[in-house]
Amino acid sequence: MQKVYLDNAATTQVRDKVIERMQEALAQFYGNPSSTHSYGRSAKTAVEKARKTIAKTLNAQPSEIIFTSGGTEADNMILRCAVRDLGVKTIITSKIEHHAVLHTAEELEKEYGIALHFVELDENGNPSLDYLEHLLKQDDSKKLVSLMHVNNEIGNIIDIRAIGDLCKENAALFHSDTVQSIGHYPWDVQTISIDFMTAAAHKFHGPKGIGFAFVRKNSGLKPMIFGGSQERGHRAGTEPFHNIVGLEEAFVKAYDNLETETQLVKDLKRYFIEKVQQEIPGAVFNGLSGDMEKSTYTLVNVRLPFDKQKGLMLLFHLDMKGIACSKGSACQSGSNLGSHVLTEILPSEELEKPSLRFSFSKYNTKEELDYTIQVLKDFAES
């Protein structure tokens, strides 16, 4: 049985060089980065080097990079601390955000009594800038806007520059979950009006359990986790040194090879779209995922022309054929509910049809895509 991994939006294969660096760190540089002896100093130097490397690539300052356990912690930290420390009374977001943002905002509404507003979305899932402006001008409360740069299920890319400008014009803070775009797109935080961003290493061929938050200097955020003075006092706890050097290596490799690897994956996505259209009549791409210009090059979300009963067996069938993909975010895999993203943008009759997310990486091949399409075609004809 052929094995094909097409769930790279959930997590990616770790690069060999990343594994080598992490093994070296675990074996040779095992000192606590907070210790003052030579073992600790060696580890601390490497942690700060990683911070500087990331900051330089983003055109940020090293003090603006805070290492976290990943995107979920970073999103929670920023939203919670913005309400607790910065006087935010209103959060504006959308109903198709990652649950790390949605559920946090909902909890803050309960705990602190903040106002929670959702921007209107068009039929493809893009936020209305006119409605966002309306919400920003609605009252004088301190506001935080949280809108993800690349949607993790349908791949839509928002106009982050325009949203940042709107927030700045209306004295609102702007946070973006950039987990699906950091490592895949170039960034310059000096040219975008953005206060907070989040990243996770395992989305760009790094290890799980490590990520970072970009927090604009002098933001006023205070720690969410208390204890030692690690991360310049922003996040207590012994730094996972091996994960941090793994993050750095994956980050460096992602940007050193950005142009060539982007083109490779773009070609795969374009090929997959063409093959689906040729071989599976009636298949539709959800959101803007079938648009090469308006969605990320890393994924497509396909609605297949099968009835509900047949659709129930589709993911299981693909798995039995060695093909890994998903119905949506991996974080929802334990839920019996359908995709909250598709629920917002599709009519109820279309939700009855099975939708699958296929996401690509440099490790995929056209031969794997041919095999996947053939399995889908055979299933459609069975």
Q: Tell me which residue of 370, 212, 156, 361 sits closest to 278, measured CA to CA.
A: 370
What's at 194, amino acid-wise? I
Per cent of the chain over pLDDT 70 is 97
Burial, 320: exposed, middle or buried (Cβ in 10 Å; 0-12, 13-18, 19+)? Answer: exposed
Cβ proximity of 368 and 312 under 8 Å:
no
Domains of the chain: 4-12+258-381 (3.90.1150.10), 16-256 (3.40.640.10)
pLDDT for 329 beyond 60: no
Residue 325: its pLDDT value, please?
A: 97
Q: pLDDT digit string (tens) for 113-165? A: 999 999 999 999 999 999 999 999 999 999 999 999 999 999 999 999 999 99
Q: Say whether pLDDT at 334 is over 50.
A: no
- Using an 8 Å Cβ cutoff, are 329 and 98 in contact? yes
Least confident of 268-277, 280-289, 310-319: 310-319
User: In the predicted model, what is the mean pLDDT of residues 162-189?
Assistant: 98
Dihedral of alpha carbons 163, 177, 7, 240, sign? positive
Q: Residue 167 catalytic?
A: no
Range list of H helices, the chain: 16-28, 38-58, 71-86, 99-112, 129-136, 160-169, 241-256, 258-279, 308-311, 314-320, 340-345, 348-351, 366-381
pLDDT at 233: 82
Mean pLDDT in the chain? Answer: 95
pTM of the shown model: 0.95
Mean pLDDT value of segment 167-179: 98
Residue 171 to residue 188: CA distance in whole angstroms? 21
Residue 272 · residue 4 · CB < 8 Å: no
Task: Please give the pLDDT value at position 229.
Answer: 85
pLDDT of residue 188: 97
Instruction: Name 142's Cβ contacts closer than 8 Å, sequence gap at least 6.
Output: 86, 87, 88, 89, 90, 172, 173
pLDDT for the residue numbered 381: 87
Tens of pLDDT, residues 31-70: 999 999 999 999 999 999 999 999 999 999 999 999 999 9
The gap from C-alpha 319 to its chain's centroid, in whole angstroms, comes to 24
Pairing type for strands 211-215 and 196-200 reads antiparallel
Q: Classify 234 in phi/psi space as left (phi over 0), alpha (psi -120 to 50) or beta.
A: alpha
Q: Is the pLDDT of residue 364 over 70?
A: yes
